[in-house]
Amino acid sequence: MTQYKVGVIGCGNRGRRHAEGYQASAQVAIAACADPVEATRASFVEDFAVASSYEDYRAMLESEALDVVSICTWTGLHREMVEAAAAAGVKAIHCEKPMASTWGDAKALARACDDRGVLLTFCHQRRFGAVFVKAKQLLDEGAIGTLQRLEGACSNLFDWGTHWFDMFFFYNDEVPAEWVMGQIAVESESSVFGVPLDTSGLSWIRWQNGVEGLLCTGGAHMQGPRNRLIGSEGIIEVGGAERAPLRLLRAGAAWQDFADAEIADVVPPGDDTVLSVLDLIACLESGAEPRLSARKALQATELIFATYESSRRRGRVVLPLDAEDSALITMLREGQVGPG
Exposure of 217 by Cβ count < 10 A (0-12 exposed, 13-18 middle, 19+ buried)?
buried
3-state secondary structure of 92: strand
Q: How many Cα neighbours within 13 Å face the side chain of 76? A: 8
Beta bridge partners, 196, equal 191
pTM: predicted TM-score of the whole model, two decimal places: 0.96
Contacts 24+ apart (CB under 8 A), 217-225: 217/153, 217/154, 217/155, 217/156, 217/157, 217/160, 217/161, 218/155, 218/156, 218/185, 219/185, 219/187, 221/153, 221/154, 221/155, 222/151, 222/153, 223/153, 224/153, 225/151, 225/153
Distance CA 273, CA 21 (A): 7
User: What domains are there in the chain, each with its CATH number?
Assistant: 4-125+271-292 (3.40.50.720), 127-267+299-334 (3.30.360.10)
Q: Over its length of 340 residues, how does the chain's per-residue pLDDT go in tens digits? A: 789 999 999 999 999 999 999 999 999 999 999 999 999 999 999 999 999 999 999 999 999 999 999 999 999 999 999 999 999 999 999 999 999 999 999 999 999 999 999 999 999 999 999 999 999 999 999 999 999 999 999 999 999 999 999 999 999 999 999 999 999 999 998 999 999 999 999 999 999 999 999 999 986 555 678 999 999 999 999 987 667 899 999 999 999 999 988 898 999 988 999 999 999 999 999 999 999 999 999 999 999 999 999 999 999 999 999 999 999 999 999 999 988 7
User: Which candidate, 8, 43, 42, 38, places its Cα nearest to that of 22?
Assistant: 8
Distance CA 88, CA 67 (A): 10
User: Which candidate, 32, 71, 131, 9, places its Cα nearest to that of 280?
Assistant: 71
Q: Are 163 and 315 in contact (CB under 8 A)?
A: no
